[in-house]
Amino acid sequence: MGFLVPAFLGALVALALPLWLHLRRRNRRTPVRFPSLQFLRALPIQVTRRRRVADLPLLLLRALAVAAVVLAFARPVMRPGAGVTAGASARDVVLLVDRSLSMGTPGTWARTRDSARAVVASLAAGDRIAVVAFDDAVEVVAPLAPDRDAARRALDALAPRQRGTAMAGAVRAARALLEPAPGGAVGARREVVLVSDLQGTGARGVEGVSLPAAVTWRAIATGPAAVRNRWVGGVRTRRARPDGRSLLAVQARVRAMATPGREVARERLTATLLVNGRAAASAPVTLAAGADAAVAFPAVAVPEEPVLVQVALPPDDLPGDDTVRVVVPRDLAVPVTLLSAAPDEETAFLRQALAQVDGPRLRVERQTRLGAPPQDAAGPPPVVLAWDLFPDADAMAAWRAQGAGFVLLAGARVGARRGAGSPWPVAMQGMADRTADRGGHLAGWRAEHPLFAPFREVPQALGEPRAWRYPRLDAAPGAEVLARFDDGLPAIVREPAPTEAPEAETPGRGRAATNARYVVAIPLDATRGEWPLHPAFVPLVQQLAHEASGAAGGGDAHVTGARWRVPDGVPDPVVRAPGGALLRPGTVRDGVTGGGISLADAGVYQLFAGRAAGIPVQQLAVNVPEGESRLEALPPVAVQPGLDAGGERTASRDSAVRTPAAQDASPEAWERRQTGWRWLLLLAVLLLLGETVMATRGRRAVVQDVMLPRAPERRAAPPAA
């Protein structure tokens, strides 16, 4: 027998209260006035039973009532202790250790290592343990075995890595280790212990992974109580050629987060711009509490070749994400094919907007029919702007195989073809006429999307232009609606590229092999709206072309955990990793799989031909996932996998989530299935009722007054004569 809340047993000192009341009771007499006392004889009154309990049965009844109430609040738990075989006491434990980037905050890894060692030390003879290390990948560093020394050696060899967090994969690995349980004791208890900072962004999907019903789940939080982190949320670059010089303008967005105890109302720091490894400029940044800040560096002279750009912040609690790297490609014009059968005056404003120089240059070519795609693999991917017509599906497939992006600028001709949407991510539902209510305007857009980057400082610019007539679009399942009109109809719809799946391999030139498709219902001519006459028209058109091509000015950058397929045509390729290690594609070792390179570390990967010397053929910038910089942690009870049918899950006070079986149920689970405290409360009520009846009937606890006769006074003998 045990108690769920044993601290309440301290209230048993209240048993002294009935005894104190019994001993403290005094007689109360009413004085009677009498005219004279000279004729009354003085008799002493002696009160008896004053220092003893007058009614012992009544006292015991009251004490039992108090004890029953105290025991009820202590929540008694009855657990069976007999009948457990020796084999059932053995345990199979899978220890999941988080080694992602967020574990590098001050003190976190030391607490994680100590907690993991404590789990190993708690094993008894016959117990088995497996150690699984995870970040965005899962590795079984110690198989399920009774060798505790091997588990300790595996823990000592672990260290945080510059990778993201994926707890769901680790839970799947634990399930795979525990399900067969080869060589384990019959009836062995199975347990999964997670040691992590419980970062919220890394715990996504854990609830969708189920564990068997008899497996105990326990999460140990090792993250810091208070932490502050700053990181660069995005870098945008733009080449310019004033007076024939090649200049590069860089803008970055700095973000910050802090847990309670580390908030700063306003912080000033300096961001540094490095070009090809050398400090080129710096700019001050002021971060307000809970807000992002934009930083713009002065334009710097750069060569025509690809340029490595880095934006660095001062070190903070998580140094691994203080630097962001991008590779700015050569200053090559983006090939744009304007596919239109309309008169020249209808597309005049669009052609003038494309001729402006803002970001990467655009080389515009007009066609009435989509021909063969360009074969220039070295330049930026081409983009096709289809003006109010559907391109041929076979021609589109050939262009998309070359990495081309497509933008359908829908108008009255396309809108009249009801239901015609494939292979576009929309279906047409006719035209919307807003001339009667003075036109419609954009009322909602995804400001975080790169398409609207030029308008982040002036978001009101997108909501001012009016549209008189535009197609009614119906977005297909899986398509992204980036902007809507004020009547709720989609204004810009995007279909993600197939290679944007998480497991996709990164192509050799560092961009998606097939870019996304966009459908734009915003009227870009002067007859159906006033957009061509508004200042937002030119930046929107140019940004559409850049985003569809994949050359929007953000530079080429990748994240750790991805794979990079080395481009064909490089003789005897060798890759130098950020740590200096040399990797040769084509061999299955050292992080190389087949013809691809596993991007394990943040930094710059350099590709050489033959040997790692001289000027690299290509450079690849790799950063940590931005989600890893968000250090908000979940409570342990919130990180819970699912359960197979028949399982039950209980959150206990020690941050454990258990699935009770007959031999390893938690005290909370046993107490919840019992009703002892209710019976104790009922007993207390009955005792108090009995005490009331006993105290009010009969002659109980009455102090008896006994009058004793006074001894006669002895008079002194008369003196002798």
Distance CA 630, CA 101 (A): 11
Give the tens place of pLDDT for each residue, 658-707: 333 333 445 555 566 567 778 888 888 888 888 888 777 654 544 444 45
Find the Cα–Cα–Cα–Cα dihedral 278, 283, 289, 291, rounded to 10°: -90
210, β-bridge pairs: 642
How much is the average pLDDT of 276-295? 86
Three-state DSSP class for residue 645? coil
Distance CA 126, CA 183 (A): 11
The domain spans of the chain are: 2-28+38-78+678-707, 88-223+634-671, 228-329, 334-549, 558-626
* Confidence at residue 194, expressed as pLDDT on a 0 to 100 scale: 95
Cα dihedral across residues 555, 317, 602, 403: positive or negative: negative
Q: How confident is the model at residue 59 (pLDDT cuts 50, 70, 90)?
A: confident
Instruction: Tell me the backbone φ, ψ of residue 41, rounded to 5 degrees.
Output: -90, 130
Cα dihedral across residues 109, 106, 235, 580: positive or negative: negative
Pick from 129, 96, 128, 136: nearest CA to 115: 96
Residue 360 vs residue 615, higher pLDDT: 615
Specify whether the CB–CB gap between 104 and 319 falls below 8 A. yes
Beta strands 189-196 and 91-98 are parallel
Quick check: 590 pLDDT over 70? Answer: no
Q: Is 272 exposed, middle or buried (0-12, 13-18, 19+ CB in 10 A)?
A: middle
Task: Collect all residues with Cβ–Cβ distance below 8 Å to 166 and sequence separation of at least 6.
Answer: 134, 135, 136, 137, 138, 202, 205
**In the CATH scheme, what architecture does the domain 88-223+634-671 have?**
3-Layer(aba) Sandwich (3.40)
Quick check: 50 pLDDT over 90? Answer: no
Distance CA 413, CA 426 (A): 15
* Confidence at residue 84, expressed as pLDDT on a 0 to 100 scale: 37
Q: How confident is the model at residue 372 (pLDDT cuts 50, 70, 90)?
A: confident
From residue 410, alpha-carbon distances to 93, 440, 469, 525 in Å are 60, 16, 11, 11
Quick check: 443 pLDDT over 50? Answer: yes
Share of the chain above pLDDT 70, in %: 77
Quick check: 416 pLDDT over 50? Answer: yes
Residue 131 vs residue 236, higher pLDDT: 131
Distance CA 22, CA 529 (A): 95
* Confidence at residue 694, expressed as pLDDT on a 0 to 100 scale: 79
The b/e string for 448-469 (b: 16+ C-beta within 10 A; e otherwise) is eeebbbbbeeeeebbeebbbbb
Distance CA 387, CA 347 (A): 8
Q: Which amino acid is located at 163 in the chain?
A: R
Q: What is the topology classification, in CATH, of domain 334-549? A: Rossmann fold (3.40.50)
Predicted TM-score (pTM) of this structure: 0.59
Q: What is the topology classification, in CATH, of domain 228-329? A: Immunoglobulin-like (2.60.40)
Give the tens place of pLDDT for each residue, 67-91: 888 888 877 877 654 333 334 458 8
The b/e string for 623-640 (b: 16+ C-beta within 10 A; e otherwise) is bbbbebbbbebbebeebb
Specify whether the CB–CB gap between 403 and 512 falls below 8 A. yes
Give the tens place of pLDDT for each residue, 484-511: 999 999 999 998 765 444 333 443 333 3
Give the tens place of pLDDT for each residue, 537-568: 998 998 888 888 776 555 677 888 888 888 77
Same-fold call for 228-329 versus 334-549: no
Quick check: 439 pLDDT over 60? Answer: yes
* Confidence at residue 409, expressed as pLDDT on a 0 to 100 scale: 94
DSSP for 185-239 reads PTT-EEEEEEEE--BGGGSTTGGGSEE-TTEEEEEEE-S-SS-EEEEEEEEEEEE
